[in-house]
Amino acid sequence: MPQDASTARQVRVLMVCLGNICRSPSAQGVLEKLIENQGLQHLVEVDSAGTGDWHLGEAPDSRSVTAAAARGYEIDHLRARQVERHDFTRFDYILCMDRSNLSTVRELCPRAHRSKLQLLMDYGDSSHDTVPDPYYSGAQGFELVLDLLEDACDRFLAHLRDEHLDEQAEPAG
Ligand code: 4NP
C-alpha cells in the first residue's frame, strides 16, 4: 500500500498510457488541476509516461491539447517519456489507462511494487472499465477521454484525501 499519512512526504502518482501524448498527459493535467483547486500541490505530485517509445520528447497530440484547453487544462508544456524502472520505486500509485498498458507495466515491475499498479478507471463510475485510445478516433473520442478522466480523477483524489491527506491539507481560504 502506498504512503502512510503520518509521514509528511508527498504522494506520487504516475499516469500511464501507450504513447504518452493523448490519455496520460490529459490525465496528468486533469488531476493536477483538481489538486491545485483543492490546495494539495504540496502533497501530491503527478507525472505521466508511456509504455511505447514512438513519441519520446514530443508535446501532447494537438487534438488532446485543444480539447483539454477548452476545459481549462494546460498540457502543452508536457513532453512524452517512456516508463522506466525507477518509476516503480519513485511512485506510490501507477494508474494505467487500459489493460494493455497494465499488462506491459506489470511485466516490467518488480514484484515488490506490483500492488501500486491499477487501472485509473478502477476509480471511475463503472460505465467504462478502461480509457479508450482516442488516437484514431474523431474529436468525440478526445471528449470521451476527458469525461472519463474528470470523473475518475475526482474520485481518485477523494480516495487520496481519505487514505492519506486529510490532516495535511491546507485550510481553505
Ligand atoms: P495515448 O495514444 O496512448 O493515449 O498517448 C496513442 C498515441 C500514439 C499512438 C497510439 C496511441 N501511436 O500508435 O503512435
Residues tagged active-site = 17, 23, 133
Task: Give residue 3's pLDDT.
Answer: 42
Place of cell 486529510: 166
Q: What does the mean pLDDT of the chain come to? A: 93
Indicate whether this model's pTM tops 0.95.
no
pLDDT band at 126 (very low <50, low <70, confident <90, very high): confident
Ligand 1 centroid vs 23 CA: distance in angstroms?
A: 8
96 CB under 6 A from ligand 1? no
pLDDT above 50 (res 54): yes
* Topology classification of domain 11-165: Rossmann fold (3.40.50)
Task: Tell me the average pLDDT across 31-38.
Answer: 97
Is the CB of 11 within 6 Å of ligand 1?
no
Element (H, E) at 44: strand 44-50
Minimum CA distance residue for ligand 1 atom 7:
19
**Of the candidates 55, 48, 51, the residue with the CA atom closest to the CA atom of residue 24:** 48
Q: Is 143 within 8 Å of 73 (Cβ atoms)?
A: no
Q: Does the beta carbon of 135 sit less than 6 angstroms from any atom of ligand 1?
A: yes
Helix axes 139-160, 23-37, angle to 10 degrees: 40
- Domain spans of the chain, in order of start: 11-165
- pLDDT at residue 4, rounded to an integer: 44
Residue type, 166: D
Q: Where are the alpha helices (DSSP H) in 38-98?
A: 62-70, 87-90
Return the pLDDT at 171.
Answer: 55
